[in-house]
């Protein structure tokens, strides 16, 4: 196999026509009428016509249409629609186009076919330096926060990731204007006087958990509204109850029914309020801040998260003229402004989780590597733990991020002989070890001598995905859904692995492949684009051998 870089693979030699099946979530409305049965997918591999038929049927049901209603939109008969869905109708491109229009969704597109896979030839060190991009989690919070502002919000240095696109799709669907600058880095948002909440892109909304952060801003915009259920990675059940508790003092009552949150808002009774969060969660703190920002009087939020994305949000709210005190602490005091109309520019700060991912890439490949613009305040415990494990690194003098607040450093790591830490590695809300950085310790622990206990008390399903590292030769024992025991050092070996359906574990497998001699294949990597911008290209620039390919 020739050694081709990602850049070369990204220029397709030819275009293929692809029928791209968009998954329909479990919350789709049930099929409302009597209709001809669709082909039985369990009876063998369905033909292309059957697959298209199933795709049409799923899309129709997702829109809540009967076969008869779809037939009317197409100007055909119900029996013709039944034939299409059974795979018994030859489809012209013209008919596929009309179907897409009638179903209001792209059923086919021209481009590289199928999901994205990686071919990774590992076992060689990386070199040079890499710059940390801005954070996914601050970006989604600020996109939701922009809904508060009647003026123009320009967000600078926005990560070009799928999670941002999903929230943008939702914002645009309700009428928000969102325009990238020519370089595609800065985003200008203008919110209309009236939002089209009925037109919300439910498909995009259901793919992200961050849609929950629409509740805080929207309670100022409409007395009743609906939002689709929040979705996201497969990390196990994630509660929304703390959000409901936090938003009740602002007059918001939410009933979850039929795949949607039905929200009703009454005017809060008191001028000032104190909210005690039952969990020190990041998005729940952000939701409380978003609700408080336009509520008259003073809101005190106790047990607030002081994590990086919350700090970015506080800084943006301050720019909007909202009084926010207690930045970086667990008590935030907000003096709301019922009308916010300000033209502001805010530069999103660097992502500590991306920084940790890039450091891990260097550590497990025994590299001399510099990770530039790492937000040190949000990596201190991680680095202290790594120092304890024997990692050799140096830090540049600190400098400020473009938001004027976040402290950055360049971290240079050197090849090190790692040993397991004496105590377990476990996350805590900031200033603890970041919950999203924990999975990377599994890969690092596999490279270290001795046994490391990794305790993910937070997510029911995230640690489970780490057992995929065994496919590459690691000794990872799942003690229970929350605890893995990793014993090293690992003699990594190449393998073919299907990407776990969770962002950080997926990246962990990729990084282990960089450490493994020989050629590995990582299948269905599209989930990585949810939170990382051009990760493969940037690793290739550091000397990694990664090819992107499609079926
Ligand atoms: C868009 C965004 O910003 N996402 C981050 C945010 O999600 P988010 O704020 O949505 O995280 P969740 O509210 O889902 O919290 C994660 C899990 O931790 C539990 N929990 C949380 C705090 C607490 O004090 N006690 C407790 O038990 C929750 O019940 C849940 O099971 O925070 C998570 C935890 O840092 C991160 O993994 C996500 O990347
Ligand atoms: C769990 C994560 O994020 P989200 O809240 O967007 O699912 C993550 O970033 O690893």
Where do the domains of the chain lie?
A: 21-106, 116-133+351-550, 136-347
From 162, 212, 232, 279, the mutation candidate for ligand 1 (largest count of ligand atoms within 8 A of CB) is: 279
Q: Report residues whose beta carbon is within 6 angstroms of any ligand 2 atom.
A: 209-210, 232-233, 235, 436, 503-504, 531
From ligand 1's centre to the CA of 281, what distance in Å? 5
Q: Which fold has domain 21-106?
A: 434 Repressor (Amino-terminal Domain) (1.10.260)
Strands 127-131 and 116-122 come out as: unpaired
Please identify, by atom number, the ligand 2 atom nearest to the C-alpha of residue 435: 10
From ligand 1's centre to the CA of 435, what distance in Å? 8
Whether the Cβ atoms of residue 499 and residue 506 lie closer than 8 Å to each other: yes
Mean pLDDT value of segment 396-410: 98
Span 247-302, pLDDT tens digits: 999 999 999 888 889 999 998 777 899 999 999 999 999 999 999 999 999 999 99
Could you give the CA distance from residue 155 to residue 395 in angstroms, rounded to a whole number?
Answer: 29
Strands 152-156 and 187-190 come out as: antiparallel
Per-residue pLDDT band for 107 (boundaries 50, 70, 90) equals low
Whether the Cβ atoms of residue 97 and residue 1 lie closer than 8 Å to each other: no
Among protein residues, the one with the nearest Cα to ligand 1's atom 39 is: 436
From ligand 1's centre to the CA of 494, what distance in Å? 33
Please identify, by atom number, the ligand 1 atom nearest to the C-alpha of residue 212: 10
From ligand 2's centre to the CA of 353, what distance in Å? 10
Please identify, by atom number, the ligand 1 atom nearest to the C-alpha of residue 242: 13
* Count of H-run helices and E-run strands, the chain: 18, 25
Residue ranges of E strands in 234-327: 252-257, 260-265, 273-276, 298-302, 323-325
**ipTM of the shown complex:** 0.98
Question: What is the CATH code for 136-347?
Answer: 3.65.10.10
Among protein residues, the one with the nearest Cα to ligand 2's atom 9 is: 436
Query: 3-class DSSP state for residue 12?
Result: coil
Mean pLDDT value of segment 512-518: 98
Among protein residues, the one with the nearest Cα to ligand 1's atom 10 is: 283
Question: Beta-carbon neighbour count of residue 6 at 10 Å?
Answer: 20
Contacts of 425 (CB under 8 A, 6+ apart): 385, 433, 438, 441, 445, 452, 453, 454, 455
Among protein residues, the one with the nearest Cα to ligand 1's atom 17 is: 458
Please identify, by atom number, the ligand 1 atom nearest to the C-alpha of residue 138: 3
Mean pLDDT value of segment 227-248: 85
Domain 116-133+351-550 matches domain 136-347 at the CATH topology level: yes
Q: What is the pLDDT of residue 268?
A: 74
Q: What is the pLDDT of residue 18?
A: 30
Q: Decide if pLDDT at 340 tops 60.
A: yes
Could you give the CA distance from residue 24 to residue 259 in angstroms, rounded to a whole number?
Answer: 13
Written in H, E and C, the secondary structure of 149-197 is CCCEEEEECCCCCHHHHHHHHHHHHCCCEEEECCCCCCEEEECCCCCCH
Span 20-60, pLDDT tens digits: 333 322 223 333 333 333 333 333 445 677 778 878 887 77
Q: What is the pLDDT of residue 8?
A: 28
Could you give the CA distance from residue 476 to residue 457 in angstroms, rounded to a whole number?
Answer: 17
Could you give the CA distance from residue 412 to residue 176 in angstroms, rounded to a whole number?
Answer: 42
User: CATH 3.40.50.2000: does it fit domain 116-133+351-550?
Assistant: no
Average pLDDT, the chain: 89
Question: Beta-carbon neighbour count of residue 385 at 10 Å?
Answer: 17
Whether the Cβ atoms of residue 57 and residue 81 lie closer than 8 Å to each other: no
Whether the Cβ atoms of residue 536 and residue 6 lie closer than 8 Å to each other: yes
From 134, 240, 283, the mutation candidate for ligand 1 (largest count of ligand atoms within 8 A of CB) is: 283
Could you give the CA distance from residue 304 to residue 325 in angstroms, rounded to a whole number?
Answer: 12
CA angle 424, 428, 432 (to 5 degrees): 90
521, β-bridge pairs: 119, 496
Please identify, by atom number, the ligand 1 atom nearest to the C-alpha of residue 281: 22
Span 429-457, pLDDT tens digits: 999 999 999 999 999 999 999 999 999 99
Per-residue pLDDT band for 108 (boundaries 50, 70, 90) equals low
Cα–Cα nearest to 363, from 489, 487, 450: 489
Burial status of residue 27 (CB atoms within 10 A of its CB: 0-12, 13-18, 19 or more): middle
Angle at which helices 282-293 and 136-145 pack, to 10 degrees? 20
Q: Decide if pLDDT at 355 tops 50.
A: yes
Please identify, by atom number, the ligand 1 atom nearest to the C-alpha of residue 286: 9
Could you give the CA distance from residue 515 to residue 19 in angstroms, rounded to a whole number?
Answer: 36
Whether the Cβ atoms of residue 249 and residue 282 lie closer than 8 Å to each other: no
Question: Beta-carbon neighbour count of residue 205 at 10 Å?
Answer: 24
For residue 237, give the ligand nearest its CA: 1
Ramachandran region, residue 297 (left: φ > 0; alpha: ψ -120 to 50; beta: rest): left
Strands 518-523 and 496-498 come out as: parallel
CA 473, 475, 476, 477 torsion-angle sign: positive
Eight-class DSSP state of 325? E
From ligand 2's centre to the CA of 185, what distance in Å? 22
């Amino acid at each position: 196999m020739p050694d081709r870089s990602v850049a070369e693979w990204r220029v397709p030699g030819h275009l293929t026509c692809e029928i791209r099946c968009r998954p329909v979530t479990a919350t789709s409305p049930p099929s409302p009428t009597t209709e001809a049965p669709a082909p039985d997918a369990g009876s063998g591999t369905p033909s292309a016509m059957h697959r298209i038929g199933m795709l049409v049927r799923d899309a129709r049901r997702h829109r809540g249409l009967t076969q008869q209603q779809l037939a009317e939109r197409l100007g055909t008969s119900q029996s013709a629609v039944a034939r299409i869905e059974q795979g018994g109708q030859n489809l012209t491109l013209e008919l596929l186009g009309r179907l897409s229009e009638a179903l209001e969704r792209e059923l086919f597109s021209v481009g590289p076919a199928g999901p994205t896979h990686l071919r990774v030839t590992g076992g060689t060190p990386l070199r040079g330096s890499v710059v940390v991009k801005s954070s996914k989690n601050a970006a989604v919070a600020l996109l939701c926060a922009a809904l508060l502002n009647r003026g123009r919000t320009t967000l600078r240095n926005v990560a070009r990731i799928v999670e941002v696109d999903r929230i943008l799709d939702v914002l645009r669907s309700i009428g928000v204007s969102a325009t990238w600058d020519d370089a595609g880095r800065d985003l200008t948002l203008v919110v209309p006087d009236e939002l089209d909440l009925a037109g919300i892109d439910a498909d995009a909304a259901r793919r992200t958990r961050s849609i929950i952060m629409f509740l805080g801003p929207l309670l100022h915009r409409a007395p009743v509204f609906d939002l689709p259920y929040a979705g996201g990675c497969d990390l196990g059940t994630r509660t929304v109850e703390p959000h409901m508790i936090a938003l009740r003092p602002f007059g918001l009552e939410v009933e979850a029914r039929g795949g949607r949150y039905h929200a009703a808002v009454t005017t809060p009774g008191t001028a000032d309020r104190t909210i005690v969060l039952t969990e020190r969660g990041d998005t729940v703190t952000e939701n409380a801040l978003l609700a408080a920002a336009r509520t008259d009087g003073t809101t005190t939020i106790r047990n607030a998260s002081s994590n990086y994305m919350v700090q970015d949000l506080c800084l943006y709210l301050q720019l909007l003229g909202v009084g926010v005190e207690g930045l970086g602490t667990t008590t935030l005091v907000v003096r709301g402004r019922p009308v916010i109309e300000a033209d502001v520019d805010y530069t999103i700060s660097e992502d500590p989780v991306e920084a940790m991912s890039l450091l891990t890439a260097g550590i497990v490949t025994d590299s001399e590597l510099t990770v530039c613009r790492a937000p040190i305040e949000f990596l201190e415990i991680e680095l202290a733990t790594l120092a304890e494990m024997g990692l050799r690194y140096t830090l540049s003098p600190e400098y400020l991020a473009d938001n004027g607040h976040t402290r950055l450093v360049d971290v240079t790591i050197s090849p090190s002989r790692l040993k397991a830490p004496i105590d377990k590695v476990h996350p805590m809300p900031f200033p603890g070890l970041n919950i999203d950085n924990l999975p990377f310790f599994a890969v690092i622990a596999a490279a270290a001598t001795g046994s490391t206990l990794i305790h993910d008390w937070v997510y029911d399903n995230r640690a489970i995905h780490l057992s995929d590292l065994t496919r590459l030769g690691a000794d990872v024992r799942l003690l229970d859904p929350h605890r893995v025991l990793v014993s090293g050092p690992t003699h990594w070996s190449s393998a073919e692995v299907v990407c776990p359906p969770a962002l950080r574990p997926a990246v962990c497998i990729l990084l282990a492949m960089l450490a493994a001699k020989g050629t590995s294949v990582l299948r269905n990597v599209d989930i990585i684009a949810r939170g990382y911008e051009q990760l493969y290209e940037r690793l290739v620039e550091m000397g990694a051998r990664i090819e992107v390919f499609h079926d």
